A = this chain, B = another copy of it.
């Protein structure tokens, strides 16, 4: 099938998302103009509106995709039999996944406030579903008496904040390898829950 000159939908669509993700994470959603995104992609600003109805929808698409991929990746992650093994799997998975997508992680933290309330609730629910995955591990370990946790809800929030924090300071080629960092965090997480 013949296409008009300058037709590159299969390239432009993904490129808009990747450049928008990079720019939003670097400068903030409100600070980035549609013209900047278009320039980074290599098209004119008007062309963006063939791929997104408006700027907020572009942000929502990025956040929704990230959360979907996060939950899907965790669902497909192998994990051991007991709560301790499951917690170790979660800790290592969370660090590995988040470090592979630092821009998306940062965006999911910072730019939820730029979403309308309906979109906000949708992303928020996915985030809660992910947190629930960790809490269920903690509850199982608590019931099996292999964890000693004063409050599983607080432990969930504490562990996720601790693990996600890695993305704010980790730099490739730094003092410690990603594997070493994951091992150290697993050690601290394990101790924190009394395992």
With most chain B CB atoms within 10 A of its CB, the pick from A160, A162, A175, A184 is A162
In whole angstroms, how far apart are the Cα atoms of A154 and B182 in the complex?
A: 10
A28, A114, A150, A158, most chain B CB atoms within 10 A: A158
A161-B168, A165-B161, A192-B191 known; A184 vs B154 contact (CB < 8 Å): yes
Q: Which of B29, B165, B166, B189 is the one whose CB lies under 8 Å from A160?
A: B165
Is A146 positioned at the interface, with any CB of B under 8 Å from its CB? Answer: no
Query: Please, what's the 1-or-0 string for A75-89, where 1 marks a CB less than 8 Å from any CB in chain B?
Result: 000000000000000
Asked if B114 and A151 make an inter-chain contact with CB atoms under 8 angstroms apart, the answer reads: no
Q: Is the CB of B27 within 8 A of A27?
A: no
Known: A158-B185, A165-B158, A176-B151. A28 touches B191 (CB 8 A): no
Given A30-B28, A31-B114, A114-B28, residue A165 in contact with residue B154 (CB < 8 A):
no
What band does the interface of chain A fall in when counting residues whose beta carbon is under 8 Å from B? 35 or more
Kindly list chain B residues whose C-beta atoms are within 8 Å of the C-beta of A191. 191-194
Type the 1/0 row for A142-175, where 1 means its CB is closer than 8 Å to any CB of B: 0000000011011101111110111011000001
Picked from B28, B111, B155, B175, the residue with its CB within 8 Å of the CB of A188 is: B155
* A interface residues with partner B (beta carbon < 8 Å): 26-31, 109-111, 113-114, 150-151, 153-155, 157-162, 164-166, 168-169, 175-176, 181, 183-185, 187-189, 191-194
13 A-B contacts (beta carbon < 8 Å):
A29-B31, A30-B30, A110-B110, A154-B181, A154-B188, A157-B165, A158-B162, A158-B188, A160-B165, A161-B161, A161-B164, A161-B168, A188-B192
